[in-house]
Amino acid sequence: MCENIMRKEYDFSKGVRGKFYRPDVELNLPIYLEPDVAKFVRELARAKNTAIETIVNSWLRQDIALIEERTTTPSPPNSK
């Protein structure tokens, strides 16, 4: 008999709701870089003697600042 087949019904009567819920736990997102980007970041981090995540976080913060600047800066008035 194949063990990968799901049962028609499951008994959760003894389950405990929220047993593993931790409201203060921070989720760390895995980020997967393409090989060429990963190689570049690895080499840059090695050259600067710093962690890869420090480089990537710095770049992301710069991008966030640019995006926020563009979305909060009013457009110049039409010069007609």
Asked if residue 80 has pLDDT above 90, the reply is no
Specify the pLDDT at position 46: 98
pLDDT in tens, 12-60: 999 999 999 999 999 888 999 999 999 999 999 999 999 999 999 999 9
Query: What is the rounded distance in angstroms from the CA atom of residue 55 to the CA atom of residue 53?
Result: 5
Specify the pLDDT at position 44: 97
Main-chain dihedrals φ then ψ at residue 74, nearest 5 degrees: -65, 150
Lowest mean pLDDT among 1-5, 36-40, 61-65: 1-5
Q: pTM for this one?
A: 0.57
